[in-house]
Structure 1
Amino acid sequence: MRLSSLLIIAMTFFAAAVVSLVAANFSVKLIEESSEIGVRDALDDEGMTWAEVQADGLQVTLAGIAPTEAVRFKALTTAGSIVDAARVIDQMEVEAQAAIAPPRFSAEVLRNDSGISIIGLIPTTSDRESAIERFSDIVGKDNVADFLEQGDYPAPEGWEDALAFALTAMTQLPRAKASIEAGRVSITAIADSAEAKAAMENKLNRSVPPSVELMLDIAAPRPVLTPFTLRFQIDEEGARFDACSADTDAARTRILAAATQAGVIGTARCTVGLGVPTPRWADAVEQAINAVKQLEGGSVTFADADITLVALAGSDQANFDRVVGELENSLPDVFALHSKLPKVLDPNEGPPEFTATLSPEGQVQLRGRVVDVSMRDLAESYAKARFGSEKVYTAARVADNLPADWAPRVLTGLEALAGLSNGSVTVTPTGLSVTGNTGNPDASSEIAAMLAGKLGEGSEYDIDVTYQEKLDPVLGLPSPDQCEAEIGEVLKTGKINFEPGSATIDASALGIMDEIAEILKRCGDIPLEIQGYTDSQGREEMNLALSESRAQSVLNELRARQVLTGTFTAKGFGEDNAIADNSTEAGREANRRIEFRLIRPNTVTTPEQTTLESIAQSGDTDGETTEQGSADE
């Protein structure tokens, strides 16, 4: 009985334990589910659906990849608001962040009379010290303000080319600002004259690398015109300006419109400048041009406030009197009018004259009549001083009964001739004529101003000067590609020979060097590399040294001929880049050569990639090596 009671008690306790264990397990499961669901819902409410939640007993584990560190921390905080933060296990990762974008590199260089300043952010790969040193050499170390900062990021494409070009350009511009970006340079500058502006623009445009976009804004001050000159005429060749000046853009528009009404065809040139004698300049010019039109021919010349109106010989006297009278009464008070109606000359009467001609080759001939021997010697000396002693031929004779002002008119005519590329000057008792061609677009105006100032009031002169672009010393400059092509044409018929086994240029090649030097003098600052090559005979290092020396010899010969070589480099390549088979003598001779190549951005120095290969063989005839394995001959 006692044993049975004990068994019943034991079974009761066992049953209670089982019930307690089941209840405990159920409670833990309930806690896990409620914690996981609660945290999951809270994270979803915050938009963090990327997070994974798993409950294990009382612990809640968070996993997944958070987009940022801040979002990961927010997920932990959100979970901690549902369950005890100590129960939250963090197994989350943070998504790898994209590399930080490099900054925008840019720099600005300002140069004026006080020095140079440079400011901006450039890559650490840029040679900052070299740039500052270049500027210090120009204006002095104390006059360079360096405000540059550097960023440790790769230089963007086009940055180094833009920076190098801007630094070079600023060394040539005394008053300018350059803004530099990757692949782009903007330059604002001031030139001393319109000619200097054109020269600056031409030089910069020719030297800019193809990888760089160049924006230019070069201003030139208005010229001071002394005297303020204008000359308009109508003759058998039509209506035209020999010289035209205006004080404002609006005045120029009015003057050109009046000229068009009088018969000028096409676009006429009129210079806007300083020095006008009165603000009513355009009023007077309009009236004078209209007067020439009413006379149906003749000329009107302004030299400051003096006006000379000359009708065509044989014009109707009554019409002349009427036109002149109306013009005198309508002109602003500051102007003084001188009018002339020339008489018709007897065609059988040959007036005395003096002529000077200038040929395209620069030869000058003086013919005709002079007052006396001293006058002839003076004219000849003046011409030799202007055109060169070896280029003047004199065949003038002494004559009587010449006008008293004959000598100064002859010298004035020679001075006008000096403004032409070729042409002639004729001096007669009643006038002076200048005819020819020039590369100066303002030559006609300059000659007219000079004649008006030196011949005096009422003097008659005629100017027929034609501007030709090909004679313009600025526009006539060949492009770098044209220069390369011209050198190539020279080398098609000649060779640069070297003495065997030497870097000394053979005497037979000096004429070729002269021709190449003349081409490069016209080309100006072009980026040119003179490259030396050898054949494969001999030791490679000796061939490399020989090719370097030969390229340097060519560079030195160009310098000796006064060629500006600041943008040239000499480089040896030894036996690399062979263009023919080194196993034959003909092939080895072809490989021993000098090449002239333009330096272009990202140009690989291989023969195949040259726009035009300019190759001159070294002229070696044997190519044998010594027992010691010397460089190629």
Structure 2
Amino acid sequence: MTSAGSREPGGASGLGGDAPRRWRWPLAAGLALWCLLAGVMLLTARDPIEADLDAVAADVLARTGESWASARFEGRDATLEGESLAEAARVKVRESLENTFGVRVVHDRTTLLPERRPFTFSAVKDARNIVLDGYVPSAEALARIVAAARLGGETVTGQERLVRARGAPPGDFASLVLFGLAQLKKLPSGRITLADGAIAIEGRARDLASYDALSEIMHGPLPDGMTLARFAVRPPVASPFYWSAVREGGVVRLSGFVPSATARADVAATLAVAIPGTGITDDTRLADGAPSTDLWLRAVRFAGQMLAQLPDGRVTLSDSSIAVEGAAPGFAAFDRLAAARKTPPEGFQVTRFAVEPPRAVPFTWRLERSADAVGLQGFAPSDDARRLLLDAARAAFPGVPVTDGMKLASGGPAPELWVSAAGFAVAQLARLRTGSADIAGTQVTLAGEALDSSAYLSIMQAAKVPPAGVTAVATAVRPPAISPYVFSVRREGGELTVSGFYPDAAAHAALAGALERDFLREKVNDVSSIGSGAPDGFVAAALAGLLQLSRLGSGELSLVDTQLRLAGSTLAPGAVADIEAELRRTLRPPFAVDTALEALATGPAVDAASCGRLVGELLGRGTIRFAPGSSEIDRRSRGLLDRLVFTLKRCPSAAVRISGHTDGIGDAEFNQRLSEARAAAVLAYLANAGVASERLTAAGYGAGQPVAPNDTEAGKALNRRIEFEVKERAS
């Protein structure tokens, strides 16, 4: 019997009994291998599926325009992540992904960003540093903003403070920020601020060109979604802060700087009121550096008031200085301008006043001195010239009030020439008691009464040598008024002393000529002075008195107004009566004559030789003159003849020979007769005066004994002579 556990090769029982045991291992191994292969197949097939789904999901998200979201796959299951700006966007993204072919499940892990109202962003620039702050709608926007901020090499900080949030204005917020950053970088320092879509920019421009360009951009068309909230960029500082207004008829042209747009409008309004009816061309630019706007606008109003008086003029403000230029249309306008310049607005001063005054034709000026005041009238060419004249007048008349009635005018000489002429006039007027100095152009006319004789002579001398540029000096200056009018000549000891006054230079010359001619070259001590107030006929009366004084040995002639007095001693007998008669015959009323004359006793006797020497000395000092072509003795020779009489009486024993000589004019016979007649006339005069006629002889020699050539007037005068020969008479 075979047991159940026996195996027999090739039997059926092998399959039912031992067969399972033989095949179990290979079967298990195959199953495991199959599972492994299936797993490998599953694993190797999953990567392409996920990659395909990632690409499909990215494309879907891009098409939806929601770049904030991203999808991650495990097999066909998607996990959606990101920070959404709106709930609708989350739904839109989720639904778009769920509807994508191949996606089995979408797990939504997105979040909703916090909302910020207002949605703000700011950037502050300081040199090369930029600090960021505020909100951004996405990481992508943040990255774009930071990259733009760094462009150009700036150092950027604060990006960690840029918080993603909802509430950004519609559109591309990052583009708005990039526009603002581009403008900020044009400033050396500044700030931009975006609140929703409104931008504010502040800072200081590098220069006027960049300021103007930035202002034009910010006030022009802005990117979509952006409005200008505030433009607070300050223009560069202008130094000096310059502003100019030029009026040319009906147009006022403005240039330079204004502190603000508001101030520019205020300027236009101010000028429209000050100068109604004029057009305004405004080329001013904004700049910092002005004084306070209120003070600056006051200065502009002052400029308008000045231009209102100048149809063609310019007013310039430079920092705190004001310059006014132009030509005044009339004296009233010029006076208003001159008054206004003295009261500039607070904080300003008029440093240049170059307004040409009206033209004066003729250009005249007058300085008048009364007993207690000095007045200036007429025209002056400039303020400086006027001030110099006032200073000179006050210095020349200390303690005397000086009133200024002058006006500035054009059309006259150069100021320096006018000052020279005016100073000359002041100096002369200071020598007058009362009077005036008038200047017309460069011609000076002086009139009035001199303080004294010395002052009068100084004025006359100065008038002959005026300052350079003064073309002429006319004078109507009178010497000082003298009352009583006194003139005196004293003859004593061979000298003449002249005192008192004479009316003018011609009178003085006439008197001096008589003293030299008729008084035998005696020493003259002249202490007389010029003075007005002489009575009519003074010179003739004085000359008549001097003629008779020449006949006195010693004496004095005096004139007091119209009273003539002659006192002294005569040299020849009968001279007293002759002198008195001659004076009364010569002088006419209102002159009156008073004499106190006495004959001089004969001098001590001398011998003939001494007598001849004394006679020679007399003839050496004087000449016996005759009327031309006549034997009539000139009356002006009587003084010499009386002295010859007095001398010859001192030598009664001497014989005197008188010889006459001529200059050869005419024929010889005429000259002979003339010389004889003249010698005889002298002899007769001596005899009539008391010289014994038996002592006297006379002879004429014509032109036969010349002492000098007759080819000159001086030689002829020497040849016309009377000679004396004195010698002892034969016993």
Q: Same fold (TM over 0.5)?
A: no
Which is greater in Rg?
Answer: 2
Structure in which a larger fraction of residues adopt strand: 2
TM-score, with length taken from structure 2:
0.28
Higher relative contact order (CA 8 A, sep 6+): 1
